[in-house]
Amino acid sequence: MSSGKSLVTGAAGFLGSHVCDCLLERGEKVIAVDDLSGGFAVNVPADVEWVKGDVSDHLFVRNLWNDHGPFNRIYHLAAYAAEGLSHFIRRFNYTNNLVASVNLLNETVKHGCECFVFTSSIAAYGSAQPPMREDTTPIPEDPYGIAKYAVELDLKSAHEMWGLNSVILRPHNVYGERQNVMDPYRNVVGIYLRCALEEKPFPVFGDGGQTRAFSYVGDVAPLIAETGFREDCFNEIFNVGSDEVNTVKHLAELIAEEFEVELDIEWLEERVEAKHAYSDHSKLDMFFPDCSRTSLKEGISRMSDWVRRNGLWEASFPQQVEVAKGLPDSWRKLLSSPS
């Protein structure tokens, strides 16, 4: 059992709330932060101390340390992770995903910590040839991936300047219980579950032949939590997720089958995105040989049970974009009045 204190940002979100659970299980005291811009209060585990606020506000972040610090570990998961939409909400993306990270990094450097754990993304690789390895040169191609990679570089620089230890995780397409299934711009598994529940057509961009390795949260969150305690992981980068590669169309078929509905696809024009994105996990396997691997079918079945039990929740997501040029028509229809 540990007796340290961790700060978890994005704790009302999907991955962050599961990471909180893993930390609590090992006896860690958890200060959980979220502004509820994309998460749900009900996700925040009861045994954490929750501080509601926006980490892109540097005064809020400074007060976090004044009121609750110092922290042994920082798990920074707060972000708005809508890769495709990030082209059209650049300012919001960089404020939330880059500047907010810098606010946390500044305070961490001032006060010190054992390790800063950062959830980057497979988006840092851009459309490099899969499977992406940690030594593949990242060439992010959208503002979301660029923000993630910028934070990675900033952490590296902070290590060289001040010896700050960090772990960078690059998860991909994680799904599971507590995920926001209401946001039309992200989380394709969640979008299809909602369509199945509401008996609506499943939107598919292009021919649905895009390949992804959808990864179950129960396999991913414990690893994120664990890396903050493992000195052999410090200052390392890890791809995290499943090795089971599937097309988006197959995902739609699986979900329709799970809900016993006839698959009705709404074919949409192809959008700008990496056609194939999945990672090599041999490095992770070396460090964590016993990590769990849930099949997509099993993971979908667990998440579907959760959605059926909990129903659909009201959720907030961007109602406007900053630049509407090139916005897919299916998204344009959702927005109040794109300029």
Ligand X SMILES: NC(=O)c1ccc[n+]([C@@H]2O[C@H](COP(=O)([O-])OP(=O)(O)OC[C@H]3O[C@@H](n4cnc5c(N)ncnc54)[C@H](O)[C@@H]3O)[C@@H](O)[C@H]2O)c1
Rounded least distance, CB 272 to ligand X, Å: 18
Backbone phi and psi for residue 188, each to the nearest 5 degrees, phi listed first: -60, -35
The C-alpha angle with vertex 182 and arms to 177 and 185, in degrees rounded to 5, equals 110
Our CB check for ligand X shows the closer of 14 and 278 to be: 14
First to last CA, the chain: 54
Rounded least distance, CB 10 to ligand X, Å: 3
Our CB check for ligand X shows the closer of 72 and 120 to be: 120
Give CA–CA dist 174/271, Å, rounded: 21
Our CB check for ligand X shows the closer of 161 and 311 to be: 311
Rounded least distance, CB 3 to ligand X, Å: 26
Rounded least distance, CB 201 to ligand X, Å: 23
Residues 6+ apart with CB under 8 A from 286: none
Element (H, E) at 91: helix 90-94
The C-alpha angle with vertex 318 and arms to 313 and 321, in degrees rounded to 5, equals 160
Our CB check for ligand X shows the closer of 261 and 322 to be: 322
Our CB check for ligand X shows the closer of 33 and 233 to be: 33
Rounded least distance, CB 302 to ligand X, Å: 16
Which residues of this protein are in contact with ligand X, per CB under 6 A?
A: 9-10, 12-16, 33-39, 54-56, 77-81, 96, 100, 119, 121, 171-174, 180
Is the dihedral angle over the CA atoms 92, 96, 101, 107 positive or is it negative? positive
| Strand, helix or coil for residue 212 | strand
Exposure of 308 in the CB half-sphere (CA atoms within 13 A):
10
Our CB check for ligand X shows the closer of 13 and 130 to be: 13
Give CA–CA dist 77/5, Å, rounded: 16
Rounded least distance, CB 253 to ligand X, Å: 20
